[in-house]
Structure 1
Amino acid sequence: MLHMMGKKLKKIIAAGITATAAAGTLIAVKKQREKQLLHHEQTMIEEVNKRDYKDMQVYFAGGGLASLSGAVYLLRDCHFKGENIHILGGMGIMDEKGNKLSTKPFPFKGKHMFFKETSENFWELFSYIPSLSYPDKSVVEEMLSNYQNHSLAKPCFIDRNGNVTDKLRKDFSLQDKKALGKLLASKDSKLQQRTIRDWFKETPHFFDTDFWYVWQTSFGFQKWSSLALFRRSLLRMMTLLGKTNPLEGAIPIPVDPYILFIKPLLAYLEKHHVNIYPTYGVTDIDFDKDTLIPSSIHVTCPEREDYIISLKEKDLCIIENGFIAAYSGTGSLKGKASSSFSMKKELWKNIADKKQGLGNPTPFFHNREQTHKISFHISCKGRHFQKLIEKKCGNGPGKGAYIILKDSNWLMSILATPYSHKEQDKEETIFWGYGQYIDRLGDYVQKPMKECSGEEIMKELLHHLHLEKEETAIMGSVIEAVPYYIPYAHSSLQPGHSSDRPNIIPEQSQRLAFIGPFTNIPEDVPCMEEYSVRSGRMAVYHLLNMDMGICPVTSHYKDPKIVMDVLKKFCP
């Protein structure tokens, strides 16, 4: 039934079919290639061990995941001295000692779930970083040890009438399938500056499919998001498309991601004497005349007067040119979340205004109404609320739940993790929730979500779960319900031209790199933490002349089995 997907889609699967016919040859070639790579990397390691970087300094402008990851690769793979690495910034959430400014959970930019298949470098990095809760394990081992006996239940849909289903409808129309097939076969370069809504304007039914609800709430895509990045996400995560449960294999994160990921990275870097200045900020960078060679860094900080770092001939400057979760506002049970909207994008704007080839921040940050969202965190005494949710969704005890309230005016979703974390009270249950359309009035609470306190969000949630009769008991068990306003949560998915994102190594630049979700990495998708880790690794390897393999973007769409699973699902 390939004709239903359109003739062009055949190009996408041709490589996979060819691979099947020549499987034996490919396996042999792969084994030979692995031997060659192993020998090459061993030679590279021996060469690195002989290096003397002398007094070379590396400055990271920004202290997000990309910078912290890049610093680890400098230490581990390049054998760079920790005392010569400087991280200027802390995502706007840490004090001068690296501690969080707020005791509230970190407003994570994505779902509290990870997919190993699409987190190649992230997985490799955190397989190496020691866990703080279990020193004999890595962070990944900690995640897996919690997860191995607790698979997350299927996504559960609840409509306005309280009807519950965990079965995704095969509700693509023929027009939807044709549009998707044509999109998958299109070239990235032909989709620049277009939105998802532009592509499906002849078949708006697509936005009422269960598939779209899952994709939107799980990865943050909106109707007005970048069409090119949406296509890229479909190819990148094609393993999910063919599954009955598209979130099968997702590993839920039961705790504040700052505790699970950022703190172990900071501990590792501090152990190796890396200089971390979380409250500092970089406002501008000067360049040698008519070049893209950085000459000085303008630094601002609350502990001292602003100052300028003069770069020496071999010093490196690595810029994290935007943050998604930073500058978010935190509310409380009785108060709404607020934010000053001081995104501090001035650094990127300042250098882009005076030098060509360094991207353009405007498409990502000019329309807050399209990029903001509310994330909320609920903690309760006991397991009464969790048991009610599991029962409503038909899940077994301890399975947790991922619920999409598809008829919610705010388009709310909630994740109840099925297990506890070491730093979590054994008698405490934690829930994470999200709202996409936060400017709309609630269905029960007649206020926009962004104007609501944690208590008001809880009341709206309980009405959509049809648990009004349990409201008194549930609210009595609530320890805290904290909303977070994240003004630029979806900013990295905004439509634009590929040139709006600077290349990790800008053309004709020297000793300069860009990292993070606003850089240009062909084939990858910036809605995942993998993107930041990958960019940090790419920048460090290039600037330090490390001819070693970086985990590539896995081409799942070239796997014939995966392709056939997708075709069966799309063409019943």
Structure 2
Amino acid sequence: MTRRDPKQTNAYLVGGGIASLTAAVHLYYDAGVPATQIHIIEAAPVPGGSMGQSSGTDDDTWKSGYVILAARKLNFSYRCLFDTLAKVPSMRNPGLTVLDDVRGIIDEDDDLVEVRAADANADAAADATADAARAARRRTRTNHNIDHNIAPYSSHDDDRKSASSFPARLVASGPDGPEIVDVQKMGLRSEEKLGLLGLILEQEDCIGDGQIQTHFKPEFFESKFWDVWASLYGFQPWHSAVEFRRYLLRFLHEFSHISTLEGIDHAPLNDYECIIQPLGQHLKSLGVDFQSDQRAETQVCEVKFAPGDKVHVSELRIKRRADATDSAIVIGDADIVLITLGTMTASMRFGTDSKPPPPLPSQEAVNADPGPVWRFWASLADPNKNPHHAEFGRPKHFYGHISKSSWLSFTITLAGTATSVFDHLREWAGFESPERPEKPDRAEKAGPGHAASISGDSSSDKDSFSNSNGPLITFRDSPWMMSITMPHQPYFTGQPDDVCVLWGYGLYPDQEGLFVQKPMMACTGAEIFSELLAYLNIPAPQLWQGSGSDPMATTGSVTTIPCLMPFIGAPFLTRTDGDRPRILPKSSDNLGLLGQFVEMERDVTFTMEYSARSAQTAVYSLMGLDKKAPEVHRGDRDVQVLGKMLMTIMS
């Protein structure tokens, strides 16, 4: 595509999620489009899309319970995302970048900031070791004059050992309480090993729209490998075999430590505060035009195309709910339009500690009105409304199966003496901070309920491990396939010292619990927490017992907020060629499509990286830049990675 003159280009970004924010960063820094000519049109009052702000950040938010929609995983191989975050200054740490924040560099050592700032211009010797080279790259990133052309982290960072290494990955219910399952050996049968290898070697066009369960017998879905892999990435047996294969290939480098989660990290704060907020504020400070927060619920309701064979957007019809006005944006010849398609978090249903979430709508009701985001995409794919409809995929394929795309997440806010369950669970699970020595007397099969005391005068030890990741624990006997994770504390700005936050999810919310004996989606927050305590063999009253003269004095509290999400698993649904549109529709000269529902080679959906890659690709292509998004990490080209993968499968 011919290079555009950035000074003459206005860019209109429909949707304010991570894809549009990423596109805006690259339009400004890589393409040179003036910030005032970048327009982000978002219906929500704040940017972020599926990563939007879900909880307040004042000192009293904990009283009603925090809400975490997802604790997204980070991986060294997220080259597009990391390349983007390396261009944005940190809000919290002057002289550093958002990439430094999310990688936890600032948390390693407070003195490190001064060292890196003083040594910002130091050069690594050409023959330095890999560790020294990585340190040199980090020093470059901490330069007060941020180098916006810095290359993403090297693929050789797969040698990095994260602090996130835990023995408790799968937990089973034993006769004396919870027992840690040995997942050092996957225990796959010979035919299952061959099945995995065969699927990896298969071509996508031969797999078609098949489900994972068409490639394996039912016994495979009872294996430790499936429990670990499915709970980590969110797969269900009826999901796309093509996407499952892509994940196997994309994360080959994770096979050797999927049992310990080494190398998989999370941001030190919640995703909104650590990623979305600094991206949004930096873009605003540059002068990017956000048509959202001050003009709440600004929605693009129609896209008009110029006559002819080319896909050329000529006009955007805008509806502003705040003042009930309609208007039109005329798209100039030099302008571009970037549209984020679909949503994973539309129609979320929140419950409370005492009420379950509202029930799922019927599929008939969803088909009749899937909501504004899906309806907008459907209009683009409607032959009666768009002469180029064939280039826009089949959105109903993704919103038309809510029984297969619904999950339930929950956030537990523990206050006062109730935080003792957080402390004890992390210790029992094998969590120790890098500075904290391993305790030799920890019995592997002694669950939290077997501790001498988990309440009352139990001291909180959060400070000693607040800067490290917590484990992901999956209860393999749970009909809900319940998993919990214990993120960095504090996880929210304004979170009090005596408050801890847990986050969890169930992949089968329509199933009855083992102890509550109700479908997860019909449970109150308190009932979900009760189910969790039962798996851990912790008597609930202990959490509220005080240490004073009154043994039943209430000195702690627990609030659990469930969230039922009808479309969260939609990106994983089976698909065939044409269900997901290309980033650049055929014959497009000013339109790019972004997000989780566009088609790209090799990379995997349901990640921030996928959205970032779609944005980077669209910007470079439409602006005619002599650049390409960084190549998807290819572990299949590394003999060591392949060897470790085979050892894991064969174990």
Q: 1:476 to 1:335 in 2, by over 3 A?
A: farther
Which position in structure 2 is the counterpart of 1:428?
Answer: 499
How large is the RMSD of aligned CA atoms in angstroms? Answer: 2.7
CA apart distance, 1:566: 1.4
Deviations 1:520-546 (A, max 9, x none): 011000021100001001001100011
CA distance in 2 between counterparts of 1:53 and 1:352 reads 30
Q: Which sits farther off after the overlay, 420-429 or 321-330?
A: 420-429
CA distance in 2 between counterparts of 1:471 and 1:388 reads 13
CA distance in 1 between counterparts of 2:596 and 2:263 reads 24
Point out where structure 2 has 5 or more consecutive residues left out of the alignment: 57-64, 110-161, 384-388, 437-464, 546-553
**8 Å CA contact 2:357, 2:521 repeated in 1:** yes
Which position in structure 2 is the counterpart of 1:388?
Answer: 424
Which position in structure 2 is the counterpart of 1:138?
Answer: 97
**8 Å CA contact 1:284, 1:347 repeated in 2:** yes
Q: 1:469 to 1:326 in 2, by over 3 A?
A: closer
The one-letter amino acid of 1:436's match is: L
The one-letter amino acid of 2:172's match is: D
Q: 1:100 to 1:568 in 2, by over 3 A?
A: closer
SS at structure 1 position matched to 2:382: helix
The one-letter amino acid of 2:482's match is: M
2:625 corresponds, among 546, 552, 557, to 546
- The within-5 A match list for 1:138-287 is 138-143=97-102, 144-145=104-105, 148=108, 151-154=163-166, 155-161=168-174, 162-165=177-180, 167-168=182-183, 169-200=185-216, 203-243=217-257, 245=259, 247-278=261-292, 279-287=297-305
CA apart distance, 1:62: 1.2
The one-letter amino acid of 1:535's match is: S
Which position in structure 2 is the counterpart of 1:13?
Answer: none
CA apart distance, 1:91: 5.8
CA apart distance, 1:166: 5.4
**8 Å CA contact 2:17, 2:47 repeated in 1:** no
Matched, 1:369 2:329: no
Q: Which sits farther off after the overlay, 353-362 or 467-476?
A: 467-476
**8 Å CA contact 2:484, 2:502 repeated in 1:** yes
Which position in structure 1 is the counterpart of 2:377?
Answer: 348
Matched, 1:517 2:596: yes
CA distance in 2 between counterparts of 1:480 and 1:76 reads 44
CA apart distance, 1:470: 5.3
The one-letter amino acid of 1:159's match is: A
The one-letter amino acid of 1:138's match is: T
Q: 1:131 to 1:426 in 2, by over 3 A?
A: farther
**8 Å CA contact 2:268, 2:274 repeated in 1:** no
SS at structure 1 position matched to 2:578: helix
Q: Which sits farther off after the overlay, 69-78 or 320-329?
A: 320-329
CA apart distance, 1:126: 1.4
SS at structure 2 position matched to 1:534: helix
Which position in structure 1 is the counterpart of 2:476?
Answer: 406
Matched, 1:537 2:616: yes
2:351 corresponds, among 308, 325, 331, to 331
CA apart distance, 1:107: 4.8
CA apart distance, 1:388: 2.2
Matched, 1:80 2:33: yes
**8 Å CA contact 1:405, 1:413 repeated in 2:** yes
CA apart distance, 1:417: 2.2
SS at structure 2 position matched to 1:440: coil
CA apart distance, 1:326: 4.0
CA distance in 2 between counterparts of 1:253 and 1:479 reads 24
**8 Å CA contact 1:170, 1:569 repeated in 2:** yes
Q: Which sits farther off after the overlay, 209-218 or 219-228?
A: 209-218
Which position in structure 2 is the counterpart of 1:461?
Answer: 532
CA distance in 2 between counterparts of 1:512 and 1:77 reads 18
Q: Which sits farther off after the overlay, 166-175 or 73-82?
A: 166-175
CA distance in 2 between counterparts of 1:165 and 1:246 reads 12
Point out where structure 1 has 5 or more consecutive residues left out of the alignment: 1-46
CA apart distance, 1:468: 2.1
Matched, 1:114 2:74: yes
TM-score (norm 1): 0.84
**8 Å CA contact 1:91, 1:326 repeated in 2:** no
Which position in structure 2 is the counterpart of 1:357?
Answer: 391
Q: Which sits farther off after the overlay, 206-215 or 461-470?
A: 461-470
**8 Å CA contact 2:86, 2:98 repeated in 1:** yes
CA distance in 2 between counterparts of 1:322 and 1:216 reads 23
1:504 corresponds, among 583, 594, 609, to 583
The one-letter amino acid of 2:93's match is: Y
**8 Å CA contact 1:332, 1:481 repeated in 2:** yes
What fraction of aligned residue pairs are identical, expressed as a percent?
A: 25
CA distance in 2 between counterparts of 1:246 and 1:187 reads 30
1:68 corresponds, among 12, 21, 27, to 21
SS at structure 1 position matched to 2:392: coil
The one-letter amino acid of 2:303's match is: I
1:320 corresponds, among 340, 363, 375, to 340
SS at structure 2 position matched to 1:258: helix
Which position in structure 2 is the counterpart of 1:24?
Answer: none
CA apart distance, 1:95: 11
CA distance in 2 between counterparts of 1:555 and 1:94 reads 32
CA distance in 2 between counterparts of 1:99 and 1:108 reads 9
SS at structure 2 position matched to 1:356: helix
TM-score (norm 2): 0.75
The one-letter amino acid of 1:234's match is: L
Q: 1:323 to 1:78 in 2, by over 3 A?
A: same
CA apart distance, 1:58: 1.1
CA apart distance, 1:253: 3.3
Aligned length: 519
Q: 1:431 to 1:265 in 2, by over 3 A?
A: same
CA distance in 1 between counterparts of 2:635 and 2:537 reads 40
Q: 1:171 to 1:146 in 2, by over 3 A?
A: farther
Q: 1:557 to 1:236 in 2, by over 3 A?
A: same
The one-letter amino acid of 1:365's match is: Y
Q: Which sits farther off after the overlay, 68-77 or 99-108?
A: 99-108
**8 Å CA contact 1:233, 1:525 repeated in 2:** yes
Q: 1:391 to 1:124 in 2, by over 3 A?
A: same
- The within-5 A match list for 1:5-44 is none
CA apart distance, 1:504: 0.4
Which position in structure 2 is the counterpart of 1:299?
Answer: 318
CA distance in 2 between counterparts of 1:52 and 1:514 reads 21
Q: 1:545 to 1:538 in 2, by over 3 A?
A: same
Greater fraction of residues in helix: 1
Q: Which sits farther off after the overlay, 55-64 or 334-343?
A: 334-343
Q: 1:227 to 1:63 in 2, by over 3 A?
A: same
Deviations 1:241-290 (A, max 9, x none): 12363521111334331111111111011111111123222222111224
CA apart distance, 1:55: 4.2
CA distance in 2 between counterparts of 1:238 and 1:54 reads 43
CA distance in 2 between counterparts of 1:516 and 1:286 reads 21
